[in-house]
Structure 1
C-alpha cells in the first residue's frame, strides 16, 4: 500500500488539483479507473474558479495526498477531497478524486480515513455526510463497506451547474443518494487502538 503524505491545499495547488479531478471523473482517462462519470456526464467536472472557491472557503478545506516512488525524486499528487463544515456536528465529504492509474491500491481508503480524522480533530464533527449518484451501485457499495449508510434522503442533480460549465448530462435520471457515517464510533476505536499500542 502506498505511503501518503497529507496536507491542506492552498491556492497555489489549484493548477495541480484541477487536472486530477477532471481525470478521475471525466474523459477517456477517467475510464481507466472505476470512479468515472464519463458515461453519465460529458464536459468539465469543475472549473478553475469553482475549485479555488472550495480551496479558500472559510467553512471547508481541500485535502491533498502526495506520494513518492522510485521513479520520482519529489512527491506527486495522487488524490484529493473536499470537506465542509455543514454544522457543529456534521461535516460533508466530496470532490473525492484518486488518479485513475492508481485506483484499487488502497489510496482511497487512506484518504477517506484522513478526511474523517481531520473533521473530528479540527471541527469536532460527529457525522460525515456525502452524496453519491444513485445509479452508481458499485460506489455505493464501496462506501457502505467503509461504514456509510443510506439516510433515506435523496437530492436532485445540479443540472444548472452543468450549464455553467458547458457540460451535458448523457442520461435523464441523475440524482443523489445521501449517505452518512457516525464518526464517534471510529473515533472511539482509534482511541482504544492508540491506548493498546502505547501499552497503557
Structure 2
C-alpha cells in the first residue's frame, strides 16, 4: 500500500483518472494482475461509464469515496442509501497491482463509516457473483453474512450469472 494514502469523497475532477482504475480492476487482461476481477466471467464491455460515475456524484442518495495515492486514484467504493437505514456497498475496487495490501479493507471501513454518518445506516448490504467464493469469504472475514437471497446479475449473459446478497449490521 502507498505510504501516502487519502480516502475522501470523490469529486468530478477525480473521475477521469479514477475511471481507468475501475476498468483495470474489473475487466480485461490488466485485471488479472489482481484477485478480485470479473475478467474471466465477463469478457466484453466496460464495467462502468464516466457518465455513470458523474450521476453517482450528482445523486444525494449516493456517495463515491476515492482512495488517492501519491500519483492519483488507486481505488474507490460507492455507498447508496436504500432507505429504512439500509445502505448498499458497491463498486469497490483497488488497482490490481495494489491488491492484497489492505486498501480494500480500509475502503470497506470507510464506506461503512460514510453510510452511518451520511444516511444513519444500521445495516449494509452488497452483492457478489455467487461463484466468487474467495471474494465472498473475504467479506465474511469483514463481518458480512450471506443472507441466502440471490439476485440476477445486472447484465444478461448466457449462461446467466447470479449474485449472493451479503449483509452486515453496523
Structure-1-length-normalised TM-score: 0.80
Q: Equivalents in 2 of 1:64, 1:85: separation in Å?
A: 18
The Cα offsets for residues 26-83 of structure 1, whole Å up to 9 and x where unpaired, read as 0110000001111111221111222211222120011001123xxxxxx521110110
User: Which stretches in structure 2 are left out of the alignment for 5+ residues?
Assistant: none
2:167 alignment partner, one of 180, 189, 198: 180
Moved over 3 A (4+): none
> What's 1:54 paired with?
56
> What's 2:126 paired with?
130
Q: Equivalents in 2 of 1:95, 1:143: separation in Å?
A: 14
CA contact (8 A) 1:8 1:64 kept: yes
Q: How far 1:4 sits from its partner (Å)?
A: 2.3
Q: Equivalents in 2 of 1:150, 1:36: separation in Å?
A: 20
Structure-2-length-normalised TM-score: 0.93
Q: Equivalents in 2 of 1:158, 1:77: separation in Å?
A: 26
Q: Equivalents in 1 of 2:97, 2:136: separation in Å?
A: 21
> What's 1:113 paired with?
109
> What's 1:98 paired with?
94
CA contact (8 A) 2:66 2:76 kept: yes
CA contact (8 A) 1:11 1:56 kept: no
User: Which stretches in structure 1 are left out of the alignment for 5+ residues?
Assistant: 69-74, 161-168, 184-200
Pair 1:157 & 2:159 matched: no
More helix, by proportion = 1
CA contact (8 A) 2:64 2:79 kept: yes
> What's 2:14 paired with?
13
> What's 2:41 paired with?
40
Deviates more, 1:54-63 or 1:21-30: 54-63
Aligned residue-pair number: 168
Q: Equivalents in 1 of 2:7, 2:102: separation in Å?
A: 15
Q: CA RMSD in A?
A: 1.4
Q: How far 1:130 sits from its partner (Å)?
A: 0.2
